[in-house]
Structure 1
Amino acid sequence: MNVIASRSQLRASFFRWGLFTVPLIVLLGFVAGQLGSPNTLWFQSLVKPDIYPPPAAFGIVWSILYVMIGIALALVCSSWGARGRGIAIGLFALHFIFNLAWTPVFFGNQNIEGGLIVLAIVVVTLLAVIAAFWRVRRLAALLLLPYLAWASFATLLNYEFLQANPDGGQDVPNNSVQRIQL
């Protein structure tokens, strides 16, 4: 039996998916952000590149991007029966694992070079996701373009950090002690 969904059914499906994907993507981004922090002595001691934006910009930009990513994913997830839908969702899941891995690699492991490698993978897989989303829902692919721009900027910024700190910031003494008085 072939049944075509009405516009209201399609909108309802998108809305339901959006209620799931947007909070999920924002939550995962927040959790990954807790696995490392720019508030460490290591990061504070790094030479900051000239293109380093104000720290508050990162939270604002990522919050907006995560909402847009969640909406794009909802558009694809709600496209039942669309050719390539499953592949697009699978590619996105693989890509997003790399996105979430950057913070623990860069900040958690204090690995600038590793962070650059992760970001290069993020950009390459994001291009594949955009192509896959384009085949399912063009609007979903277009919603990911600001994310691609930011991920590309983040890759450049990470590269600039590596150039400005060729030793990886490892000259910070590891035996430093932080005293907390109660």
Structure 2
Amino acid sequence: MSKSHALTLILFVVLTVAGGSLIGYASIPGPWYQELQKPPFNPPNWIFGPVWTALYVLIGIAGARVFIRERGHWLPKLWFIQMALNFVWSPVFFTLHRPDLALAILIAMWLAILSFMVLAWTRDRPSALLFVPYAAWVSFAGLLNGAIWWLNPL
């Protein structure tokens, strides 16, 4: 791996983890979230930080790979689209208190993740595989977001 590729990898991982962490800290679940009715499968709050940190590392690695290898292709664009949607979700849900709008964002993010995986499968399979845990977690998050919206009508 060249020095410039190593630097790109480090930057993608650091910026992805830092961006996700910053947004997470800026939109920490407060009293509004604590008072919501939640489904029985709602995990404890402490689990989200470690899970998202691990996912952001994998997402950052995949982003660096496609940025380096597929710069003129749709893969880097899809990576940035899903990342923007990812970063928007928390403030919409936790700050704006809009689980309905957050669910729409999450569905768009899920579609972007799956599109990324499908396109990456033949162009950069490791990047597609790095997104498998992310797709699984976002699927679960969609179920959780939908259940919270259902249980707490606006």
For the structure 1 residues 65 and 145, does the alpha-carbon distance in structure 2 shift closer, same or farther, using more than 3 Å as the test? same
Bigger drift between 152-161 and 84-93 goes to: 84-93
2:20 aligns with 29
**Is 1:72–2:62 an aligned residue pair?**
yes
TM-score in terms of structure 2 length: 0.92
SS at match of 2:26: coil
The runs of 5 or more residues in structure 2 that have no matched partner are: none
Counterpart AA for 2:135: L
Moved over 4 A (4+): none
More helix by share: 2
SS at match of 1:34: helix
1:143 aligns with 130
Bigger drift between 49-58 and 25-34 goes to: 25-34
Query: Aligned Cα RMSD in Å?
Result: 1.6
* Counterpart mapping for 1:1-182 below 5 A: 8-9=1-2, 12-38=3-29, 40-79=30-69, 82=70, 85-167=72-154
The runs of 5 or more residues in structure 1 that have no matched partner are: 1-7, 168-182
- State the number of aligned residues: 154
Residue by residue, what CA displacement relative to the aligned partner does 1:151-172 show, whole Å, maximum 9, x if unpaired? 00000000110121123xxxxx
- In structure 2, what is the Cα distance between the partners aligned to 1:141 and 1:13? 23
